[in-house]
Amino acid sequence: MSVLDPTTTTVAGDPGDSPGAAHIVDEQPRRASLWRKIFRSKRAQVGGAALLLIILWAFVGPYLYHWDSVESDGLAFGSAPSGSHWFGTNDIGQDVYAQTLVGLQKSLLIGLIAGPGATLIAGIVGAVAGYFGGFWDRVIVWVIDLLLVIPSFYALVLLSPVFKNLTWVALIVGLAIFSWMIMARVIRGQTMSLRERDYVKAARFMGVPSFTIIRRHILPNVASLLIIDATLGVGAAILAESTLSFFGFGIQVPDVSLGTLLAAGSSSAVTRPWLFILPAVTLIATVLSTSLLGDALRDAIDPTSGANRD
C-alpha cells in the first residue's frame, strides 16, 4: 500500500492504519459512483448530446453543404431561407447557413480553449497559494482581489485595440486571463484543507518536492471542481466573445463569429429576421447545452446545489 498515492485502490489494512489509508481505499469507488450519477442525469445526457451534435454540425456540416461562407449568389441578394439557401442570404448574396457554421466554429474554438485555459490558471494559482501560504498566498490573493475589482468586460474593451492588431488567439488569452479569479479562490480554500491530510504530510516528511505534491495529490483531489468550472467556462467564454464581437471589440470583420453575424443582422432583425434570429438561436443552443452539462456535473458533485432536480 502506497501512502503517497491517494487514488490507488487497496485492501483495508490493520485497524491501526492511518486515516490516509481509509482515504486510499474509498477514493476510487467514490469516483466511480460519482461518474455513474453524472451519466444517469437527464440534464447531463441532454446537454452532452446536444453539445456533441453542435460540435459535429459546426466542423462536419460545411463539408456536407453546397455553398461556401464567402461565395456570393448573384441571383439571391437578401433572399429568405429556401431549399437552395437554408438560412437565406445577406445583402451581398452570401449564404447565412454557411457563415453560421464558420462563425460557430470560431466561437466554439474560442470557448473550448479559453474556458479550460482559465480553469488551468485557476487550478495552478489557487493550489500554489493554498499550499505554500505565507508571502506567496498574500501576493496571489492581492492580485486576485485587484483583478476582481476590474470588470472583465471593460478590461477587455480597453484592450480591444491590441486584439485588432493580432489574431483571434489574442482574444482567447484575454478571456482566459480575466476569468480565473473566483475559481482560484475556491481551489485555494480546498488546498488549505488538503495540505493537512495525512497522505500530504507523509509526502512532505519523505522529502517529495512541493510541486510534485501539488501535481500528484492536490490537483487530483480538486479535479471535480476544475471539470465543472471548465465546462461552465466554455459557455461563458462563447457568450463573452459573442458580446465583445457584437459591439466591435472582439472578432473583426471580415473574420466571422456568431457575434459578428449577430451584429451584421441586428439592423435587419425586423425586415429580414433570418439574418439575426438563426445565428442567435445557434448561440443560445450552444450556451444552453454547456450550461446543462455543467449544472449536471455541479449537482452530482455537490448534492446540496440541487441534485434532485432531475
CA proximity to 226, closest of 128, 122, 300: 122
Q: How confident is the model at residue 309 (pLDDT cuts 50, 70, 90)?
A: low
User: In angstroms, what CA-CA distances link 39 with 27, 106, 304?
Assistant: 19, 29, 19
Reply yes or no on whether the pLDDT at 23 is more than 60: no
Q: Span 136-150, mean pLDDT?
A: 92
CA separation for the pair 22, 259 (Å, rounded)? 51
What Rg value do the Cα atoms of the chain yield, rounded? 24
Asked if 45 contacts 39 with a C-beta cutoff of 8 angstroms, the reply is: yes
Eight-state DSSP code of residue 266: H
Cell readout for 11 is: 485492501
Reply yes or no on whether the pLDDT at 225 is more than 60: yes
Q: Which domains does the chain have, with CATH numbers?
A: 19-309 (1.10.3720.10)
Reply yes or no on whether the pLDDT at 92 is more than 60: yes
CA proximity to 161, closest of 60, 281, 249: 249
CA separation for the pair 223, 103 (Å, rounded)? 31
3-state helix, strand, coil in the chain (%, to 5): 70, 0, 25
Eight-state DSSP code of residue 79: P
Asked if 73 contacts 85 with a C-beta cutoff of 8 angstroms, the reply is: yes
Asked if 62 contacts 102 with a C-beta cutoff of 8 angstroms, the reply is: yes
Asked if 7 contacts 221 with a C-beta cutoff of 8 angstroms, the reply is: no
Bond into 254 cis (ω within 30): yes
Reply yes or no on whether the pLDDT at 1 is more than 60: no
Q: How confident is the model at residue 7 (pLDDT cuts 50, 70, 90)?
A: very low
Q: What is the DSSP string of 100-121?
A: HHHHHHHHHHHHHHHHHHHHHH
pTM here is 0.82
Q: How confident is the model at residue 17 (pLDDT cuts 50, 70, 90)?
A: very low
Average pLDDT, the chain: 84
What pLDDT is attached to residue 302? 64
CA proximity to 108, closest of 251, 205, 221, 217: 251
Q: How confident is the model at residue 307 (pLDDT cuts 50, 70, 90)?
A: very low
What pLDDT is attached to residue 34? 65
The count of C-alpha atoms lying within 13 angstroms of the C-alpha of 158, restricted to the half-sphere facing its C-beta, is: 7
Cell readout for 139 is: 501576493
Cell readout for 20 is: 490516509
